[in-house]
Amino acid sequence: MLSQQELEKSPLFQDISYEEYRSLLTCFQAVQKSFRSDDLIYDFSSPKNDAVGIVERGCAALIRIDEEGVATVMEELGPGGVFGRTLAFAGSSGDSLQVVCRTPCDVLFIDYPHILKRCEHACNRHSVLVQNMLRLMSDKAQALSQRVDVLSRRSIREKLLCYFRQLSERAGSNTFTLPFSLSTLADYIATDRSAMMRELKRLREEGVVRSDGRQFTLL
Amino acid sequence: MLSQQELEKSPLFQDISYEEYRSLLTCFQAVQKSFRSDDLIYDFSSPKNDAVGIVERGCAALIRIDEEGVATVMEELGPGGVFGRTLAFAGSSGDSLQVVCRTPCDVLFIDYPHILKRCEHACNRHSVLVQNMLRLMSDKAQALSQRVDVLSRRSIREKLLCYFRQLSERAGSNTFTLPFSLSTLADYIATDRSAMMRELKRLREEGVVRSDGRQFTLL
DNA sequence: CCTTCTGTGTTGCATATATCACAAAGATAT
DNA sequence: ATATCTTTGTGATATATGCAACACAGAAGG
Residues A52-67: pLDDT tens digits?
899 998 889 888 887 7
Contact A27, A13 (CB under 8 A): no
The residue ranges of every structural domain in chain B are 4-135, 153-218
Could you tell me which residue, A104 or B185, shows the higher pLDDT? B185
Superfamily of domain A4-150: Jelly Rolls (2.60.120.10)
Could you tell me the pLDDT band of residue A47, with boundaries at 50, 70 and 90? low
pLDDT on residue B139: 87
Nucleotides on strand C lying under 7 Å from protein C-beta: 6-12, 16-21
SS3 B127: helix
Instruction: For CA atoms A33, A39, A41, A43, give the dihedral sign.
Output: negative
Q: What is the mean pLDDT of residues A48-53?
A: 77
Give A56 CA → D4 C1' in Å. Answer: 35
Is A23's pLDDT higher than 60? yes
In CATH, A153-218 is 3.30.70.890: no
| Chain B interface disruption, residue of A152, A164, A193, most B CBs within 10 A | A152
Establish if B124 touches chain A: CB-CB under 8 angstroms. Answer: yes
pLDDT on residue A121: 60
**Which CATH architecture fits B4-135?**
Sandwich (2.60)
Query: Which residues touch A116 (CB under 8 Å, ≥6 apart)?
Result: B131, B134, B135, B138
| Packed helices A124-151 and B124-151: angle between N→C axes, nearest 10 degrees | 30
Is B123's pLDDT higher than 70? no
Nearest to B131 by CA among A119, A64, A84, A208: A119
Is A153's pLDDT higher than 60? yes
List of E strands, chain B: 31-35, 40-43, 51-65, 71-77, 82-84, 96-111, 175-177, 209-212, 215-218
pLDDT digits (tens, 9 = 90+) for B18-50: 988 888 888 888 889 999 888 889 888 776 667
Could you tell me the pLDDT band of residue A126, with boundaries at 50, 70 and 90? confident
The beta-carbon neighbor of A141 closest among B87, B115, B131 is B87
Mean pLDDT of chain A: 86
pLDDT on residue A91: 56
pLDDT on residue A116: 78
Give A148 CA → C22 C1' in Å. Answer: 35
